[in-house]
Chains A and B, each alone.
Chain A
Amino acid sequence: MIYRNRLILVLRLALGALVVLAWEALVRMFPETCDPNLFGQPTRIVSDFVDYTQSGFLLKDTVATLSAAILGLVIGIILGLCIGVLFGSLRHTYTVFEPYFVGLNSLPRPALAPILVLWFGLGLTSKIFLSASLVFFVVFFNTLSGVRQTDRSLVDAVCVTGASWWQVFRLVTLPSLYGWVFAGFRTSVSLALIGAVVGEFVGASRGLGYRMMIATGVLDTHLAFGILLWMGVLGAVAVMLGTAVERRLLRWKSSYQAQSDVKI
């Protein structure tokens, strides 16, 4: 198993290196067709990104974008969970609200960015709202399905011991929801980042999205590519952290149990 994991790691790195080498070679060999000012050049991307890092702006911009994304993610998850649980429990009430939730979810959320900037200004708040609005619906609909599909036999097993509504919720409904919420967690992380960056595109004074807009505005494609790759790294790390939390919370599921899992 260790050998297999190492082999996969080596192959992954080799694949990445191959793409970068091919990119560099194409730009160098065919500069007229593959204009480095349009398509970027890996070596210059690295050097521009190093300059950006040394200037201290990378840290400030990353903090700004991540703050908006994380706060948006947290707010979106909390609201999505609470309102999802509420409407999941009140089935008849939800049928009244359903078309409005579906309609709001169908709105192209990035189109809200200018309005949010108008309402909340160029600061962090408008980005947090945009991120939260994207995350909310993923979590809300997953929670709604989770509450509705809570295993009736487990609820009965707890009810028959004399549990109150709150105890049924705490002992059965909530743990059942973890799987549903985490099913949408990876998507939510990406959406939170998208919300923050799109908000910065529309109007901001700092942040990775704002810096990308400035870079493309002055045709600094290399820095724009560097920031794009950096955002990819941040997203991947966030998803990996989420997966680790998921494994911890769902360790009871057979699929997460030790590889030596033995059924007696």
Chain B
Amino acid sequence: MSMNVIQTRSLTLSYKRDVPVVLNLGLDVAEGEFIALLGPSGCGKTTLLRFLAGLLKPGEIIVEGQATVTGLHPSEGEHLRGGKVGFVFEHPSLLPWRRVLDNGRLGLDIRGNSTSDGNTKVQELMQSVGLKEYVNFYPDELSLGMQQRVALVRCLAYEPGVILLDTPFSGIDSQTKLEMLDLVSHLMFGEKTILFVTHDVSEAVTLADRVIVLTSGPAQVKSVVDVGEKRPRDVRAFRQSEAFAMLEREVWLEVLRDDLQK
């Protein structure tokens, strides 16, 4: 059995004492798994992801319970320094003064890896996301969807073992979103462990091995749905399948369970 790369036990996160954003969360993500955390806006899933990424410093948040990412406590930021974690934000957050290629190379530059292998890797990734002709552009010259693809390259270029995705497809039109789902499905599999936060049921079912449905704040695990479709997937074909429709319905029922019971 593969080890848990991300693990939380009774994890409670609060910005103010007695006002938890995440409550008693138990989460096990094994190596190579693609997990979608599905919850409504404001339920605390982004806070959880930022905490796991080590972006919330002690003093910014009150932490109770236990959490480890690649065996290390996230608050200490050790897992970041080792380049073990990658993060794709809701907004591309590209450095506007660096050209597209240099933004893609950011993680490699930070590690002092200026080898031709690294450069070739970034060029190949740019090609695979369809941005080969735009490497000398500045981010402001690209559309939001293209900028988000550069953010994907930036995350993948230094080959982190754990990738955290924070609603990376929000604000993108449906056609571009479909292309990006396809890219993520084909670029993020194998040994990579993915924790994907979203409020979109079909995105979650399209990509994940397991969909964890969260309560509407503070975030608690409501139910887990196994997708059971091997990855990488042909996103377009999968979304048109009967299995996809049934899974989507099953997840929707879990999302709306409390409302339906009322």
Contacts and interface: CB of A to CB of B under 8 A. Distances in A.
Interface of A: 151, 153-154, 156-163, 167, 171-172, 175, 250, 252-254, 257, 261-264
B98 to A, nearest CB: 8
B134 A264 contact: yes
Interface stretch (B9-17, B78-86, B225-233, B237-245): B78-86
A159 B111 CA distance: 12
Given A153-B89, A157-B89, A162-B111, A264 B141 contact: yes
Contacts of A257: 138, 140-141
B30 interface: no
A262 B141 contact: yes
Given A156-B93, A160-B85, A167 B110 contact: yes
Contacts of B82: 162
A8 B91 CA distance: 42
A160 B79 CA distance: 9
Contacts of B91: 153
Contacts of A151: 93
Given A157-B106, A158-B110, A162-B80, 8 more contacts: A157-B93, A158-B106, A161-B86, A171-B95, A253-B96, A263-B140, A263-B142, A264-B142
A160 B110 contact: no
A62 B72 CA distance: 64
A252 B86 contact: no
24 contacts: A151-B93, A153-B89, A153-B91, A153-B93, A154-B93, A156-B50, A156-B89, A156-B93, A157-B95, A157-B154, A158-B106, A160-B55, A161-B106, A161-B110, A161-B158, A171-B106, A250-B97, A252-B140, A253-B96, A262-B141, A263-B143, A264-B137, A264-B141, A264-B142
A175 B83 contact: no
Contacts of A253: 96, 140
A156 B106 CA distance: 13
Nearest to B99: A252
B32 interface: no
A264 B83 contact: no
Given A162-B111, A175-B95, A156 B83 contact: no
Interface in B128-163: 134, 137-138, 140-143, 146, 151, 154, 158
Interface residues of B, number: 34
Interface string B36-47: 000000000000
Contacts of B168: none
B59 to A, nearest CB: 12
Contacts of A252: 96-98, 138, 140
A236 to B, nearest CB: 28
B135 to A, nearest CB: 13
Interface in B232-259: none
A159 B138 CA distance: 21
B81 A162 contact: yes
A154 B95 contact: yes
Contacts of B107: 161-162
B207 interface: no
Interface string B100-142: 0000001100110000000000000000000000100110111
Nearest to A172: B95
A264 B143 contact: yes
Nearest to A156: B55
B169 interface: no
B87 interface: yes
Contacts of B146: 264
Contacts of A250: 97
B53 interface: yes
Interface in B152-185: 154, 158
Given A153-B93, A172-B95, A263-B143, A160 B53 contact: yes
Contact of A263 (B55, B86, B106, B141): B141
B191 to A, nearest CB: 19
A160 B142 contact: no
A163 B81 CA distance: 7
Contacts of B81: 162
B72 to A, nearest CB: 13
Closest 9 CB pairs of A and B: A157-B93, A161-B107, A160-B87, A252-B97, A153-B93, A175-B97, A254-B140, A252-B138, A162-B83
B141 A161 contact: no
A252 B141 CA distance: 9
Given A254-B140, A262-B141, A163 B110 contact: yes
Contacts of B154: 157, 161
A172 B146 CA distance: 21
Given A263-B143, A264-B134, A159 B95 contact: no
Nearest to A261: B141
